[in-house]
A and B are shown apart, each in its own frame.
Chain A
């Protein structure tokens, strides 16, 4: 008489059942959640992206010339405080200032803060400020402002533009360039790598030669040539799209290779043969078996390509071959930092760099976490 003992309590059973019926996506998410640094990276990423999207609201001033503060060129950051010698207050405040420059100071602006009680300028929240358009609707509320004058928590640059505003819009711009570039690259990689991997043989050889050719195109000379070719009459938006397009057109090769390799091995799997023995069309095989098998890799590759796109754009703009004013990006903001003047006196110009380091690192952590979680079936074979 056989005896089937059930030594497992009910909650355990539910967990096991959940594990057994979990789809690939759910398994990946489970593994991803366990990776603390990846989760932290994901949060940082979300915050930064949202900040970029909502930058017109989060920042008090327009990031272009229109929003500049003529009275505070190259000004140091004004950090709000709660307390000072004159007592504390519930509302944060900054000091008003007086600027002088003369022969004595080498024609450099010297800022003197007036620390009397009546010279305090209090911060206001949800204050009215300059108008901006968001999703087609005009708003004029900003997250914070100051009751008199202007506030620059990251300081200003040589034309008086608020660096904080510029930073957030730069994040937005870089993300946009990255997104467009990655999407174009992804689409090309999918088509070319897919055809190459699925059909193999001669088609594969030809497409591989094309891939190799594109890979060997040197980037800097290419962009120099393009920079010379782009007419000055193009608007900044046109330039923006052009740069994104070109980055995408030369960035698809690595992903295409990966897709091809994966397809070449996947199409020889026995379950693919089983489907073909039922007369499955290539379309069915691709949709039902091949695509789901590398979705996780694709997502990983997409996430990891982002920082490369962003850094490429930064480098290009920095050396003048990419975007220009008034479009804001990190590269554009760094165009002015190469003089000794700035390095010695206006160190706050580098604050955006920290933002970008954090952004890139967040992408890398998330990408690594995804890649570690990506193949839940790697070790389920006996």
Chain B
């Protein structure tokens, strides 16, 4: 497996009327081809902003950090995303090598144009196919994602399809240009749970067939457990824990991850009480000093937590956690 995506020290600030907000703070991760990585976090964690940064899709008042480096390794060499400035240059990446699917499929299809026309348009922009070939490829793609009667659906409008089908059509559109990296921003959140199960299965199949990497953003730990190979847990713009899914969910080490898992209602234990994480998430204008989670942490250690940003400590070979508790242990031994 080749290293597909390398994100190093991604920092993103926004210049707003209310001041400078840090949305993403020193986030690093990498993704192999054929791997699904989950980015988990609640609202305000910065996961969507991180995903959009991969294609430089954030608003114009976004300010990237000095050391931010995002490189995408394509067949003909690595692409440094940060160095792409003009819309022209970015077009190579957007929709071509990297595709994105969104939470609300109704929002990503233009309501007055047929689905087929939009898919063909995408292909014509990014490839040198003829319109006829583009139509063929699109219908085939619709078939591939499990939409029955694809040639009829090709001529329909977005509102004529049900929620699940629209999401599949969006996946079809995203995949028609054969991207190396797919960014899925809460793709199943708006779907019914039975449809969600189908879409998750579909995505896993497609990864096997197409050999691409997926960055899967969601707040639902259950979906991540079923779908992703690796996961990074984010809180207030920082990654607090990352590693293979089995290890992070089986052995959650960061107090935030532990809190998240404890707060989930579990079907296998109907008697256990629901334990929320105490406190409220601070506003991004008031990010706590030191460890961003220290204001709500049940295992708060003291001035170290409120003064120093914890570095990553390995729990096992590729399972890392950013917490002073483990740093202390490390130093202790």
A–B touching in complex (CB under 8 Å): yes
Q: Is the CB–CB distance between A7 and B289 below 8 Å?
A: yes
Interface residue? A1 (CB, 8 A): yes
Q: Is the CB–CB distance between B297 and A3 below 8 Å?
A: yes
Q: Is the CB–CB distance between B279 and A5 below 8 Å?
A: no
Interface residue? A4 (CB, 8 A): yes
Q: Is the CB–CB distance between A1 and B288 below 8 Å?
A: no
Main SS class of interface, A = loop
Q: Is the CB–CB distance between A5 and B298 below 8 Å?
A: no
Give which listed residue, B43, B286, B289, B295, contacts A3 with CB less than 8 A.
B295
Main SS class of interface, B = loop
List of B residues within 8 angstroms of A8 by Cβ: 286
Give which listed residue, A2, A5, A382, contacts B288 with CB less than 8 A.
A5
In A1-56, the 8 Å CB interface with B consists of 1-5, 7-8
A20 to B161, CA, bound (A): 43
**B296's closest neighbor in chain A, by CB?**
A2
Task: Tell me how many residues of A have a C-beta within 8 Å of chain B.
Answer: 8
Task: Tell me how many residues of B have a C-beta within 8 Å of chain A.
Answer: 14
Q: Is the CB–CB distance between B289 and A4 below 8 Å?
A: no
Chain A proximity mask over B281-304: 1 for CB below 8 Å, otherwise 0:
000001011000011111010000
Give which listed residue, A2, A5, A382, contacts B278 with CB less than 8 A.
A2
Interface centre among A2, A8, A382 (most CB of B within 10 A): A2
Report the minimal beta-carbon distance from B33 to chain A, rounded to whole angstroms: 34
Give which listed residue, A2, A5, A382, contacts B306 with CB less than 8 A.
A5
List of B residues within 8 angstroms of A5 by Cβ: 288-289, 294-295, 306
Q: Is the CB–CB distance between A2 and B279 below 8 Å?
A: yes
Chain B proximity mask over A323-361: 1 for CB below 8 Å, otherwise 0:
000000000000000000000000000000000000000
A8 to B289, CA, bound (A): 11
In B305-332, the 8 Å CB interface with A consists of 305-306
Q: Is the CB–CB distance between A7 and B300 below 8 Å?
A: no
Q: Is the CB–CB distance between B43 and A4 below 8 Å?
A: no
List of B residues within 8 angstroms of A2 by Cβ: 278-279, 295-298, 300
Q: Is the CB–CB distance between B294 and A1 below 8 Å?
A: no
List of A residues within 8 angstroms of B289 by Cβ: 5, 7
A2 to B306, CA, bound (A): 12
List of B residues within 8 angstroms of A3 by Cβ: 294-295, 297, 300, 305-306
With A3-B306, A5-B289, A382-B43 given, name 6 new contacts (CB 8 A).
A1-B298, A2-B279, A3-B305, A5-B295, A7-B289, A8-B286
In the A-B complex, the 3 residue pairs with the smallest Cβ-Cβ separation, listed nearest first, are A3-B300, A2-B278, A5-B295
